[in-house]
Amino acid sequence: MTGGSAIWRRLGVAAIALTALTGAATLGAPDELHYGTWGFDSAGEDTATRPGDGFFQYANGGWLSKVDIPADKPGASLRLAMTDRVEANVHGLLEDAAAHAVGEPTTVEGKAGAFYKAFMDEARIEALGARPIAPELNAIRQAKGRPDLAALMGRANADFHGSLFQAAIDADPKTPTRYALFVDQAGLGLPDRDYYLQPAFAAQKSAYQAYVARLLNLAGWPDPDPRAAEIVALETRIAEASWSKIEQRDPDKTYNPMSVGRLAALAPGFAWKAWLREGGVDGGVGGQVVVGERTAFPKLARIWSETPVETLKAWMAFQVADNAATYLSSPFQAATFDFRDKTLSGQAEPKARWKRAVRAVGGGDYGAGDRLDRFGDMGWGVGQIYVEHYFPASSKAAIEALVADLKTAFHARIQALDWMGPATKAEALRKLDTYVVKVGYPDHRRDYSGLKIRDDDLVGDVRRAAAWDWAFQTARRKGPVDRSDWQMTPQTNDAYNGALRDIVFPAGILQAPIFDPKADPAINYGAIGAVIGHEMTHGFDDEGRKIDAAGRLRDWWTKADAAAFEARAARLGAQYSAFEPLPGAHVKGELTMGENIADLGGLTLALDAYHASLKGRPAPVIDGLTGDQRVFLGWAQAWRGKVREDALRRQLVSDAHAPRQYRVDGVVRNIDAWYAAFDVKPGERLYVDPKDRVRIW
């Protein structure tokens, strides 16, 4: 179940990832996340810090000093509090559904309830031990050689097998009206190649080897300790051959269409036809596949052909146990918690079982970053139930109005740019006009009638749900692209800009304090307005700018305009690379480039849109704060939070988003209006000379 969309990573399809580290109440009801009379928690400020010395600290330092990170989380933030609220709401819905679910239900609600009920049946799960994954383990044992193992890897999207390569189906960026099959590098069990190759992660790598041995032992695999050493050595070779996440961000270099025959010639030694056949995509799409990390493929195939078959079998057995551990008995659950949550993220305690059940059934969209976001679930069905109870039509209308405001502001910004020529401006405006805004939930529901769910077969439910979802993906590969499609379920506390030229705001993010109908408009513009602007500008960041108005991967910029953009982006990247959250550990400006550009553009557009909303009237002063000050405080409050050191180190090497402090301080220091709003002077830590401030949009 390697899953995941290749387009999501490569072609400007970017989420704001507010949940990456990061009592039920109906939306709009008073609760602890609605602040004061106008939407800002002034008690959370640190007024001893000057805004110019640390705006994140100034806006949030009081809160940071008082709030402890919960033992079952890698961090604490307002966004995680929002996620907790969504999770609690879904919990209530699933508890109710489970109370009425018996055996093998036929309705969406019944199936979701039976799935949840199966996860909560601890006695049965404990009694089964490792038996639920026996089919996968026996298939590995019985494999006669590499071709058989490659065929099993082809099933990775539909069961618990791992794979050296991953497949995904999405819109073809050269012909965006049709789908393509994307094939990318995979095979690593640690969060990033740096964990294998950098001395700073030696302790985590050693702990990983112990974890591999522990799971092999639990799965009944022979010689777990020596096999674990072989597996880590194998994955280290894979890491050495793999592209970095920075290299993967170039959509031109990761678009390599070819026939299956050409793929076999590029990377001989791997049974490509068997892999594709077992994955249900024999022949690719239209006879072609799109290869991502082209130069890595022959190296990975060579590693595959040179590794002893018994080592490959042990690696595949570990992959199955690792992927299934959350759904198995307590020894498996304890092992995966100890390594994946405690060692890698510093989490002190496992989540309550009901929370894990909610994620298992409702999908991996609640932000923990654990293994649950990769596997079969009923996320779309749970989303259907969620919006019926927790998403008012008024929120949908309000967000659509805000999007229109931000689009108008972006139009004006593009037209006024002094570094972009008329021809490129015309193309940019044309692209902006093609965006489709999607709010709350998809127009069309997924059909779950063919999915079998039982209340006494958790691993089977996960396996069947994964197969059902992959069958949905493969079934549509020969048809036209569905532009109404969504990449996030409605209950997701996030937003994204998609390959379909869509800007998507699921119901889960449309709640206080990010969007609070009771708040002062300036706060909403600084929070959800800047999120909207963020998603719009993603279509024009260092990746998204390579996609034209029709959704095609095409260079539509003049050379002079492209050079001017790249120079500005490079200056912004240098600013972020200078940030050092931990001694010796810097933000990667190139890795976080797209998100940094989108943050800067989003807040800039939000401020413009707020000014336009005043229609020439002066902004009201509230509690001594001007409108501009409240917009900036709304942005800073949206990022309020803290994270454990292990999770922060993980984020710095593997996440395209800068730590939350720099998503505030790194942005405001480049906006002239912030200096005027808070009287920021030379000599203060965040001060940047006007000539050195980065202005893109």
Query: What is the predicted pLDDT for the residue at 404?
Result: 92
Query: What is the predicted pLDDT for the residue at 36?
Result: 78
Helix, strand, or coil (residue 622)? strand
Answer with the residue of higher pLDDT: 6 or 417. 417
133 token code pair: 């994954």
Residue 200, classified by CB atoms within 10 Å of its CB into exposed (0-12), middle (13-18) or buried (19+), is middle
Query: What is the predicted pLDDT for the residue at 35?
Result: 80
Answer with the residue of higher pLDDT: 2 or 410. 410
Q: How many CA atoms lie within 13 A of 275 on its CB side?
A: 23
Distance CA 152, CA 136 (A): 9
High-pLDDT (> 70) share of the chain, %: 94
Residues forming beta bridges with residue 169, ordered by sequence position: 181
- Residue 49, pLDDT above cutoff 70: yes
Phi and psi angles of residue 146, each rounded to the nearest 5 degrees, phi first: -60, -40
| Cα separation values, 34 from 28, 390, 505, Å | 9, 17, 20
- Residue 280, pLDDT above cutoff 80: yes
When pLDDT is cut at 50, 70 and 90, the band that residue 464 belongs to is very high
Is the Cα torsion angle 528, 582, 245, 72 positive or negative in sign? negative
- Residue 619, pLDDT above cutoff 80: yes
Q: How far is CA 603 from its chain centroid? A: 21
Phi and psi angles of residue 502, each rounded to the nearest 5 degrees, phi first: -120, 150
Q: How many CA atoms lie within 13 A of 668 on its CB side?
A: 35
Distance CA 479, CA 78 (A): 42
Q: How do 288-291 and 179-185 pair as beta strands?
A: parallel
pLDDT 10s digits, 196-220: 999 999 999 999 999 999 999 999 9
Q: % helix / strand / coil in the chain, to the nearest 5? A: 55, 5, 40
Is the Cα torsion angle 445, 450, 456, 458 positive or negative in sign? negative
Query: What is the predicted pLDDT for the residue at 413?
Result: 97
- Residue 159, pLDDT above cutoff 70: yes
Is the link from the previous residue into 659 a cis peptide, with omega within 30 of 0?
no
pLDDT 10s digits, 524-560: 999 999 999 999 999 998 899 999 999 999 999 999 9
When pLDDT is cut at 50, 70 and 90, the band that residue 639 belongs to is very high
- Evaluate if pTM is beyond 0.95: no
Q: What is the DSSP letter of 166?
A: E
Side chain identity at residue 184, one-letter code:
D
Is the Cα torsion angle 24, 27, 30, 34 positive or negative in sign? positive
Query: What is the predicted pLDDT for the residue at 364?
Result: 60
pLDDT averaged over every residue in the chain: 92
Domains of the chain by start residue, with CATH: 146-308 (1.10.1380.10), 406-434+513-692 (3.40.390.10)
The dihedral over CA atoms of 679, 682, 687, 693, expressed in degrees to the nearest 10, equals 100
Query: What is the predicted pLDDT for the residue at 501?
Result: 87
Residue 335, classified by CB atoms within 10 Å of its CB into exposed (0-12), middle (13-18) or buried (19+), is buried
- Residue 366, pLDDT above cutoff 90: no
Distance CA 418, CA 407 (A): 19
Per-residue pLDDT, averaged over 77-85, amounts to: 92
pLDDT 10s digits, 236-261: 999 999 999 999 999 999 999 999 99
When pLDDT is cut at 50, 70 and 90, the band that residue 376 belongs to is confident
Q: What is the DSSP letter of 642?
A: E
Query: What is the predicted pLDDT for the residue at 32?
Result: 54
Q: How far is CA 183 from its chain centroid? A: 19
Query: What is the predicted pLDDT for the residue at 650?
Result: 95
The mean-pLDDT minimum among 301-310, 346-355, 496-505 falls in: 496-505
Nearest to 164 by CA among 183, 192, 145: 183
Per-residue pLDDT, averaged over 171-184, amounts to: 95
- Residue 21, pLDDT above cutoff 70: no
Report the residue count for the chain.
697
| Cα separation values, 320 from 331, 463, 476, Å | 15, 12, 28
Per-residue pLDDT, averaged over 300-322, amounts to: 98
The CA-based angle 394-400-406, given to 5 degrees, is 135
Query: What is the predicted pLDDT for the residue at 370?
Result: 42
Query: What is the predicted pLDDT for the residue at 363?
Result: 87
Query: What is the predicted pLDDT for the residue at 500?
Result: 84
Distance CA 393, CA 377 (A): 27
Distance CA 102, CA 112 (A): 11
When pLDDT is cut at 50, 70 and 90, the band that residue 1 belongs to is very low
309 Cβ contact partners less than 8 Å away, ≥ 6 residues apart: 145, 146, 149
Residue 477, classified by CB atoms within 10 Å of its CB into exposed (0-12), middle (13-18) or buried (19+), is middle
Per-residue pLDDT, averaged over 317-337, amounts to: 97
- Residue 23, pLDDT above cutoff 50: no
Per-residue pLDDT, averaged over 355-361, amounts to: 96
Distance CA 680, CA 628 (A): 14
Per-residue pLDDT, averaged over 486-497, amounts to: 93
Distance CA 657, CA 17 (A): 7
Query: Burial letters for 456-467: b for 16+ Cβ neighbours within 10 Å, e otherwise?
Result: ebbbbbbbbbbb
pLDDT 10s digits, 414-441: 999 999 999 999 999 999 999 999 999 9
The mean-pLDDT minimum among 14-28, 175-189, 583-597, 618-632 falls in: 14-28
Residue with tokens 């959370």, as numbered in its chain: 44
Q: How far is CA 376 from its chain centroid? A: 17
pLDDT 10s digits, 565-617: 999 999 999 999 999 999 999 999 999 999 999 999 999 999 999 999 999 99
- Residue 124, pLDDT above cutoff 50: yes
- Residue 618, pLDDT above cutoff 80: yes
Long-range contacts of 267-273 (CB under 8 A, 24+ apart): 267/297, 267/298, 267/300, 267/301, 268/298, 268/301, 268/305, 269/301, 269/302, 269/304, 269/305, 270/146, 270/150, 270/164, 270/165, 270/300, 270/301, 270/304, 270/305, 271/146, 271/147, 271/150, 271/151, 272/150
| Cα separation values, 6 from 291, 343, 443, 661, Å | 10, 29, 24, 29
Query: What is the predicted pLDDT for the residue at 419?
Result: 96
